[in-house]
Each structure stands twice: as structure tokens, then as C-alpha cells.
Amino acid sequence: MSITILPMRLTLLTLPKESLSCVMHAMVKNLYFRRKDTFFSYTENSLEVSIVADVETAANDFPTPAICPGLVICPDPFRALQIDSDTGLDNSAKRINEISAPLAKAGVSIFYLSTYQTDFVFVKERRMSLVISTLQASDFDFMDLESFHFDHSPPSTPSVTAPSTPSYGFNGTTPANDEVAASPPADSVSSSPTRADACFNDLNNGKFLARKIIPRYTLRLVGLNREYVDAWAIKLIRIIFYPDLIPHAENVEQSAGGTERFFSYTATEEGISIVADDQVLAEFPEHFLNMSTTPKPLKCIQVDLTDYGLDRYGIVYSMADPLSSCGINLLYLSTYMTANILVNAKDLPKAIKILDDVVQREVADRERRSADSEDSTSTDGVNESDESLFDDERRTSVTRTLCLNDYTEPAAARQSNEWVRIDGLQLHGEG
């Protein structure tokens, strides 16, 4: 497996779907007239529209937040690592796990994007020296590294070490922004083991709660043939901005906020990739699409990371590791505010059960540790009333949200929203 650092600097943007018309000019320009040396990715799901574009495109083509309600532009530039492997889509879970594990253990927040042609990892530019040294230490080969000027010597002190196994815990409250730990601002953390241990414990103290959504629709991953760009670009405009004009659009999920769907488009030097449902793919004649085989039906497990920001590390690894360890293949698409895990439709029940089992084991471990802690604090004279209050609140929340299959919306809500909301999966970090 080899890694190529793409030359362009990238910007991450997010906006609500209600503001999509504000970026129509930028979208049309980058669909029809995209420069060949750029990177452009658009992903829409039930919570947001998330865009990755090169810094120049973001600055020149997109509006400012002042004139586009809800538009958020990350001030930090990102770099993209292209992951080249001959293992193909059928072994993507192993690839995701192998590259996300060392970066999670090094305390590096990442975004991951699976495409039809290859995979990409996005990291903040200021973290590149740590990223390079970490991956080199894990025997990854970098192509043409000498053409870049990153200081990729190993950091003098190690970064915060993430758990060797993913941690999924529970708490009954949504994390406040000031409770979310950011990844270290530099390539190393204080050499004090106390601080490192404190940060490590913070990742596993049960404060971080994420909401899971499992939409009903089925998705497929395909490529688009560049030779027909003039023909399919106009179809993309209709798909993105006028979804009500798509035949059978009445079958697309609806909510009070409008159409709920998943659609992703990525254009790079390697090719053009889309993830869409069957109604959208039916818009394209067969010769427009690149498909080595019949694309497999995929189901999406969507995790709402709104409360965690961009610096939470370990999330990609936390999701990929238990699934890949149990033989579940997956694709992973990060957005500004969500993690989108795509598994084969036939594997969805097993994937949910795997995550559910991990959660239940974590809950049991936490309750055992809590009981041990109560005994210890009682002996040390610590105020037991405060401790027991916390435990009672936590146990109440666990009872309410313990199993992934325990909570679904009432029947009336399911009829209108056509998805299942699953609350309570907590991840040990962001990546």
C-alpha cells in the first residue's frame, strides 16, 4: 500500500440544504469547468451539505458566510493523502483500518473518503509532519515525498495514545462544546505522562454521545465516464438542485425539513465517483457509468458528530475496527458533521449487532469500574452522594439507549420520516 500526497491545499465547507441555492454558481462552475489539477467533492445527507475544494476554488467561487446563511468554512487548510492499493473495493475495510489505526493512536484527527477509484485521507496541513512520520513508522510507503517540504522527522515526544481497542461508551447528556477535547495543536503532547493519561482518560469517560441514523434507502458506488461530462453534468445539476424533477422522487424519504437522501460526487485526477440511490442512478445511461461489476447494494449507518468539531480523533478507527475484525467490509465517507459508514445491504443487521455488542460490553465494563470506584472513594472519604448521583443518571441513560435495536421512532413518526434514529453510541474519538 502506497501513499501519494496531493499537491493542492484543500478547504472544508458545510452548509444547510436550505442554503444550497447560494452555492449554485460555484457548483455549476466546478461540475462543468473544473480544472484538471483540482480536487472537488460534494456530499449531501440528512444533516448537511459538505464540500471539499481546493483553497483557490473555495476563495474565488464560493460565497462568504455573510451572504450564505449557515455556511461554515474551516479556517485550517487540509492536505489529501491518496491511498493506492491493489486490494480493491472488496477489501476496503482492511485498508481503512490499517491506515486509521496508527493515526488514531498518534492523536491525529482525519477525514476519510472512499471513492470508486481509490481512497483519500484528509488531515490538517499543520499536522503533516506527524502524519508522515507516523505512517512511515507503520511501514507505509510515500511516493515523491522529496518534492514536498514538510518536516517529517519524528516528533521528540509521542502524541496522545488512543486505546488499542475502540471504546464505545454512554452518557445521558449531549456533550457541550467546551467538553470536547481538541487534538493537540502541535505534533507532540506535553512529555508529562500525567497529561497524556488525563487526555487518554477523557476519551473514555463516557461524556461523548453520538446519534445514529439508519436511512431506509439503498445506495450504490459507481464511476462516471469523463468522455460524457457535457451530458452528465446537466443531470447532476438537476439531481443536486432540482431533486423533485427526478422520476420516482416520491419514493425519496421526506421529513419536515425537506427531502432526505444521500448523494456524493467526487472528482479528482484519478476519476469521478458517485454514491447514490437507484432512482438517481437511473438518470444516467449505462454508457455514462464505469462499473467493473454490478455495483453492490449498500446501506448507510450515519453518525451525527455535530457536537465534536473537527479535532476529535479516532472516530474512523472506532467504527472500522470492530466491523473489519468481524469480517464486515465497509466504505467510509466523512463529512464536516457526520460519519457515513456504508456496508453491504445483506450485512447491515450483522453490522448493527457488532456495534451493539461492543457497546454492551463497554457498558458492563464501565459499571464494573464504577462499582470499584465507589468502593475506593468510600474508603478515601470522598462524597459518595455526588458519585452515586452521576451513576444513577448514567444508568438511567443506559437503560434508555442501551441496544441499537431498542429505540425506534413511534409508528407515526416512522411513516413521515422513514428512518430509524438510534441514540446512544459513543465513540472514543474523531478521525
pLDDT classification of 280: cutoffs 50, 70, 90: very high
The grid cell for 299 is: 446501506
| Residue 41 near residue 262 (C-beta atoms within 8 A) | no
pLDDT of residue 190: 32
Report the pLDDT value the prediction gives residue 79, as an integer from 0 to 100: 98
* The predicted structure's pLDDT at residue 172: 30
Examine the pLDDT at 405 and tell me if it is beyond 50: no
C-alpha atoms less than 13 angstroms from C-alpha of 350 in its C-beta half-sphere: 14
Q: What are phi and psi of 291, to 5 degrees?
A: -145, 110
Q: Name residue 329's amino acid.
A: N
Report how far residue 352's alpha carbon sits from residue 386's, in angstroms, rounded to the nearest whole number.
35
Strand spans (E) along 269-360: 271-277, 289-290, 298-304, 330-334, 338-344
Percent of the chain with pLDDT strictly greater than 70: 69
For residue 185, pLDDT over 50 is answered with: no
Q: Which three cell numbers stand for residue 158?
A: 509521542
The angle formed by the CA atoms of residues 30, 35 and 39, to the nearest 5 degrees, is 70
Q: Helix count (H) and strand count (E) of the chain?
A: 11, 20
Cell of 227: 468522455
Least confident of 225-234, 291-300, 329-338: 291-300
pLDDT of 161 strictly over 50: no
State the pLDDT at residue 237. Answer: 96
Per-residue pLDDT at 53 exceeds 70: yes
Amino acid at 95: R
Q: Which residue has the higher pLDDT, 381 or 188?
A: 381
Predicted local confidence at residue 193, as pLDDT: 36
C-alpha angle 242-249-306 in degrees, rounded to nearest 5: 70
- To the question of domain 2-147+207-249+258-350 being in CATH 3.30.2130.10, the answer is yes
Q: Which residue has the higher pLDDT, 188 or 283?
A: 283
SS (H, E, C) 31-65: HHCCCCCCCEEEEECCCCEEEEEEHHHHHHHCCCC
Predicted confidence at residue 307, as pLDDT, reads 82
The pLDDT assigned to 357 comes to 78
- CA separation (Å) from 344 to 96, 339, 340? 16, 17, 13
Of residues 190 and 255, more confidently modeled = 255
User: Domain residues of the chain, as ranges?
Assistant: 2-147+207-249+258-350
- Model confidence at 377: pLDDT above 90: no
Q: What is the pLDDT of residues 324-354, one digit of tens each?
A: 999 999 999 999 999 999 999 999 999 988 8
pLDDT-based confidence at residue 160 (cuts at 50, 70, 90): very low
Average pLDDT on 163-176 reads 36
Instruction: Compute the average pLDDT of residues 380-407.
Output: 33
pLDDT of the residue at 213: 86
Alpha-carbon span 307 to 298, nearest angstrom:
27
Q: What is the mean pLDDT of residues 232-259?
A: 75
| Rounded distance between C-alpha atoms, residue 374 and residue 414, angstroms | 42
Q: What is the pTM of this model?
A: 0.76
The pLDDT, as a whole number, for residue 324 is: 95
Band of residue 404 on the pLDDT scale cut at 50, 70, 90:
very low
CA atoms within 13 A on the CB side of 106: 29
pLDDT at 183: 38
User: Which amino acid does the sequence have at 313?
Assistant: Y
DSSP letter (8 states) at residue 94: H
Top pLDDT among 430 and 328 is at 328
Write out pLDDT tens, residues 68-122.
Answer: 999 999 999 999 999 988 878 889 999 999 999 999 999 999 999 999 999 999 9
Q: What is the mean pLDDT of the chain?
A: 76
Determine the Cα–Cα distance for residues 196 and 190; give it in Å rounded to an integer. 7
With beta carbons less than 8 A apart as the criterion, state whether 272 and 39 touch: no
